[in-house]
Amino acid sequence: MKSSVIVFPGSNCDRDVAVALEKMQFKNQMVWHKETKLPQSDLIVVPGGFSYGDYLRSGAIAGKSLIIDEVIKAANSGCLILGICNGFQILTETGLLKGTLLRNKNLRFINKDIHIKVLNNDTKFTNKYNNEQILKINIAHNEGNYFTNSNHLEELKKEKLIAFKYCNETGDINDDSNPNGSLENIAGIFNSNKNILGMMPHPERMVDEVLSNKDGVNLFSSLLK
């Protein structure tokens, strides 16, 4: 599998995700935002960070960058796209994923380990997980409060496009287990073709027992087939 990680000025999880991909035997390349061509890739990762400083709206400028046109083209021809954290925000800015990420409900940056539940394991991104499996995973964001309109929410539910929901240790999905105020505890979604996944939690931070746990490993290994 060949992967590309897009690097914007201000990306800061680019190295982290590259390390995780290489650990999982992906052949990875870093792609600078001023490039106008993407290397041949099976997977494109839009990593976390503060692209262009995020002084406007998170992901807004990255969503209009040179390389992003190529990412959109690749996505439309079926390439797998994974947007993590700022990457998820950027994908919503491009329109590849619908909805938006608002300021966290408590108006503060949140970094902690939380739990999410796998809602659909019948996808290229999640097939190594069990359905309803609970993962312990790290979040780190200012704007992770997912919101979308009611039509799209219906579509997400009907088409099983919700990838993960925030829950507690025992899997309860409720307001107490919702760290940032996301609509219906949504932590990650697919597009209708299920070749694009955007998620706020950081799977690349969960691939090493010394640091945390290995709950993120199966996301990358699902893609390896």
Query: What is the binding site for other proteins (CB under 8 A)?
Result: 9-10, 12-13, 15-16, 19-20, 34, 48-50, 52-55, 108-112, 138, 140, 142, 202, 204-205, 208, 210-212
At closest approach, how far in Å is the CB of 16 from other proteins? 4
Distance of CA 218 to the CA centre of its chain: 14
Q: How are beta strands 162-167 and 110-118 bridged, if at all?
A: antiparallel
At closest approach, how far in Å is the CB of 56 from other proteins? 11
The catalytic position among 33, 115, 141, 202 is 202
d(CA 93, CA 72) in angstroms, rounded, equals 11
Nearest residue (CB) to other proteins, 102 versus 110: 110
At closest approach, how far in Å is the CB of 10 from other proteins? 5
Active-site residue flag, 154 = no
Our CA angle for 99, 103, 106, nearest 5°, is 135
Active-site residue flag, 13 = no
At closest approach, how far in Å is the CB of 49 from other proteins? 6
Nearest residue (CB) to other proteins, 97 versus 101: 101
At closest approach, how far in Å is the CB of 137 from other proteins? 10
The catalytic position among 33, 85, 93, 167 is 85
Whether the Cβ atoms of residue 127 and residue 194 lie closer than 8 Å to each other: no
Active-site residue flag, 202 = yes
The catalytic position among 70, 93, 143, 204 is 204
d(CA 154, CA 127) in angstroms, rounded, equals 23
d(CA 53, CA 91) in angstroms, rounded, equals 17
Q: How are beta strands 110-118 and 134-141 bridged, if at all?
A: antiparallel
3-state class (DSSP) for residue 52: helix
Nearest residue (CB) to other proteins, 158 versus 210: 210
- The kind and range of the H/E element at 74 are helix 66-76
Q: Look up tokens 């039509």; give the residue.
A: 151
Nearest residue (CB) to other proteins, 98 versus 202: 202
Contacts of 82 (CB under 8 A, 6+ apart): 43, 44, 45, 46, 125, 196, 197, 198, 199, 223
Nearest residue (CB) to other proteins, 12 versus 127: 12
* Positions marked active-site: 85, 202, 204
